[in-house]
Amino acid sequence: MPPQSNLVYKLDDIPPLGPLLMLSVQQMMLMFTAATFPALIVREVGGSMETASTIVSITMIAAGLGSILQALRNRWIGSGYLCPNVCGPSYLTVSLQAAWMGGFPLMRGMIIFAGVLEMLFANAVRRLRFLFPPVVVGLVVAFVGINVISVSITNFFGQVYAGDSLRWQEMLIAAISLFTMVGCSLWGSPALKLYCLLCGIAAGWLAAALLTPEILSTLEQVHAQPFFSIPFLDVNLLDLAFSWEMVLPFFIISICSTLKSFGNILAAQKISEPERDGVDMVPIAKGLLADGLTTLAAGAMGGLAVDTSASNVGLAAATRSVSRWIAITAGIIFTVLGFFPKLSTMIATIPRPVVGASLVFAVSLMISAGLKEMFSEPLDQRKSFVLGLSCIFGLSTEFVPTLFAHLPTFIQPLFGSPLATTTVFAILLYQLFHLDQILGKTKGP
């Protein structure tokens, strides 16, 4: 984790206009990695291209506004950190299930419900500071990164669908892109260090154009898009529905999503305020409230649920630019692009290996930041067990996911993802293994 003095733009700094715009565009490019998720759902429930395009635009607008809200710091809402929103994959499966059962009105109704749940969880988080000693915080931050490994690596190798083959050209493109990012970050001039991701994306695009000229065929999608459109025009998007059957799946996913956002905002806090001793739960709770409200708003507007983005926090760490104004400007650009489908689709055609390289680059520093925090204080036997056991159970959800499908349904959410499992295990085990000390303190000598 970079110490405070090494930050180029600190949390409250307002960068000059040029760097501000460039750093915001850089963050925005990373936000695009998930921009097309809503189109997947619309296509699979038989929606038209126009509906897909509308929902992508609405989700982008909601994510952009959410990023702004998250970066604000006031009495009520917003963590005040650079922790932008994207349309994350957490809600994909349940959203599809809801859309399938009751169409888009039910999907949106349940997303609003999930947003309300997230806001309620946020309220409960305020008083839980005692649950997060450095070893648990570090573990959660590291697992925020680990959670994104499968998406990052499959993109890096250019694989779209399970079972498809790999191509050396795409691996080379990803390698060129990644090494450009890392190279600029390590050996570049101050400016190149700041814009290492953009340099890597540009190098990756160039390599892709040379090595895989057929990539131009993806531009066909751009051609079909209008230059400007207002996605709210379709009044049917205001229909809402609710189903008791969908309450449990959405409840479970909203817990997982809250845990994920908790980890992301916690990581943003550690990166933005490295001098802070311990965890400040107030901005985290306000950040979770902003996340829940954004999900609610996304549903109300007719989009898909949004989530905070781990890779964007990682990028902030890599560029040592954590100014909240970067998040606000990126949010504004992302929102505006929601009204310009041709431009947003054009940006979304970034070659898959380049997307993968961007994610790998951003996430790598997230993991090492977590490890540093974990080992910032000596590990005694109790902490070692907390660390080891939580890692084993957390990683097992990636290594043997089929195993947990045979558990009773009500326990399954505990093993939903490495991040959720590790967080819950680390919190519980830390308290359990320190129970004698905790009780001793309470009872006195």
Partner 1 sequence: MERSFFSLARPQLIITITLLLFLLVGCRLSGQGKEPDNLQLYDYRDTKRLVRLLADAALVLAEEGKEGFAQFRRDRERWTYEDAYLYAYDVTGRCVFHGGMPELEGKELMDVEDAQGRKSLRMAFAAVQDPDNPHGWVHYWWNIPNRLYPVWKSSCHRLVTFPDGKTLLLGAGMANLAQERAFVKIIVDGAARQLAEEGAGALDDIKDPLSKYNLPGASIFVVSERGDTLMAPAFRFSASRNILDYEDDAGHTPLREAIVRLQGATETWVVILARNPQSMSLTKKGLYVRKIAMDGERIYVGATADLPKPSWMK
Q: Applying CB under 8 A, which of residues 3, 74, 187, 223 lies at the interface with partner 1?
A: 223
329 CB-near residues (< 8 Å, 6+ apart): 20, 21, 24
Does the footprint of partner 1 cover residue 236 (CB under 8 A)? no
Does the footprint of partner 1 cover residue 164 (CB under 8 A)? yes
Residue 58's identity, in one-letter code, is: I
In the stretch 41-80, what mask flags binding to partner 1 with x, by CB under 8 A?
---xxx----------------------------------
In the stretch 13-32, what mask flags binding to partner 1 with x, by CB under 8 A?
x-xxxxx--x--x-------
Please identify, among the stretches 75-83, 114-122, 163-171, 172-180, the one whose residues bind partner 1 according to the rule CB under 8 A: 163-171
Closer Cβ to partner 1, 35 or 279, answer by number: 35
Q: Applying CB under 8 A, which of residues 76, 161, 168, 410 lies at the interface with partner 1?
A: 161
CA dihedral (66, 72, 75, 77) in degrees, to 10, reads 10
Q: How far is the CB of 370 from partner 1 (least distance, A)?
A: 21
d(CA 27, CA 197): 9
d(CA 215, CA 353): 12
Do 148 and 430 meet the contact criterion of CB atoms below 8 Å apart? no
How close are the terminal C-alpha atoms of the chain, in Å? 39
Does the footprint of partner 1 cover residue 191 (CB under 8 A)? yes
d(CA 118, CA 291): 7
Q: How far is the CB of 139 from partner 1 (least distance, A)?
A: 21
Does the footprint of partner 1 cover residue 433 (CB under 8 A)? no
d(CA 422, CA 444): 32
Burial (CB count within 10 angstroms: exposed 0-12, middle 13-18, buried 19+), residue 154: middle
Q: Kindly state the number of chain residues that form the binding site for partner 1, as judged by CB under 8 A.
A: 65
Helix (H, G, I), strand (E, B) or coil at 308: strand
Does the footprint of partner 1 cover residue 171 (CB under 8 A)? no
**Whole-number Cα distances in Å, 212 to 63, 170, 258, 377:** 32, 8, 40, 49
Q: Which of 319, 315, 323 is nearest to 358 (CA)?
A: 315
Residue 300's identity, in one-letter code, is: A
Please report the beta strands in 178-332, taking only residues with DSSP state E, as ranges in sequence order: 307-308
Closer Cβ to partner 1, 216 or 438, answer by number: 216
Do 241 and 102 meet the contact criterion of CB atoms below 8 Å apart? yes
Q: How far is the CB of 155 from partner 1 (least distance, A)?
A: 8
Q: Applying CB under 8 A, which of residues 179, 205, 242, 251 lies at the interface with partner 1?
A: 205
Q: Which of 117, 366, 129, 367 is nearest to 258 (CA)?
A: 117
Q: Applying CB under 8 A, which of residues 239, 245, 377, 380 lies at the interface with partner 1?
A: 245
Closer Cβ to partner 1, 40 or 72, answer by number: 40
Does the footprint of partner 1 cover residue 216 (CB under 8 A)? yes
CA dihedral (346, 54, 32, 356) in degrees, to 10, reads -90
Angle at 414 between CA 410 and CA 419, to 5 degrees: 155
Closer Cβ to partner 1, 415 or 425, answer by number: 415
Please identify, among the stretches 123-131, 212-220, 368-376, 387-395, the one whose residues bind partner 1 according to the rule CB under 8 A: 212-220
- Residue 9 φ then ψ, to 5°: -125, 115
Does the footprint of partner 1 cover residue 336 (CB under 8 A)? no
Q: Tokens 């209008």 map to which residue?
A: 226
Does the footprint of partner 1 cover residue 150 (CB under 8 A)? yes
Burial (CB count within 10 angstroms: exposed 0-12, middle 13-18, buried 19+), residue 408: exposed
Q: How far is the CB of 161 from partner 1 (least distance, A)?
A: 4
Residues of span 377-416 touching partner 1 by CB under 8 A: 398, 401-402, 404-406, 412, 415-416
Residues of span 98-127 touching partner 1 by CB under 8 A: 100-101
Closer Cβ to partner 1, 74 or 217, answer by number: 217
Does the footprint of partner 1 cover residue 3 (CB under 8 A)? no
Closer Cβ to partner 1, 75 or 223, answer by number: 223
**Whole-number Cα distances in Å, 404 to 255, 394, 409, 417:** 18, 12, 10, 11
Does the footprint of partner 1 cover residue 189 (CB under 8 A)? yes
Residues of span 347-366 touching partner 1 by CB under 8 A: 347, 349
Q: Applying CB under 8 A, which of residues 162, 233, 235, 439 lies at the interface with partner 1?
A: 162
Q: Applying CB under 8 A, which of residues 202, 247, 336, 379 lies at the interface with partner 1?
A: 202
Site residues (vs partner 1, CB under 8 A): 8-9, 13, 15-19, 22, 25, 44-46, 89, 93, 96-97, 100-101, 150-151, 154-155, 159-165, 167, 189-192, 194-195, 198-199, 202, 205, 214, 216-223, 245, 342-343, 346-347, 349, 398, 401-402, 404-406, 412, 415-416
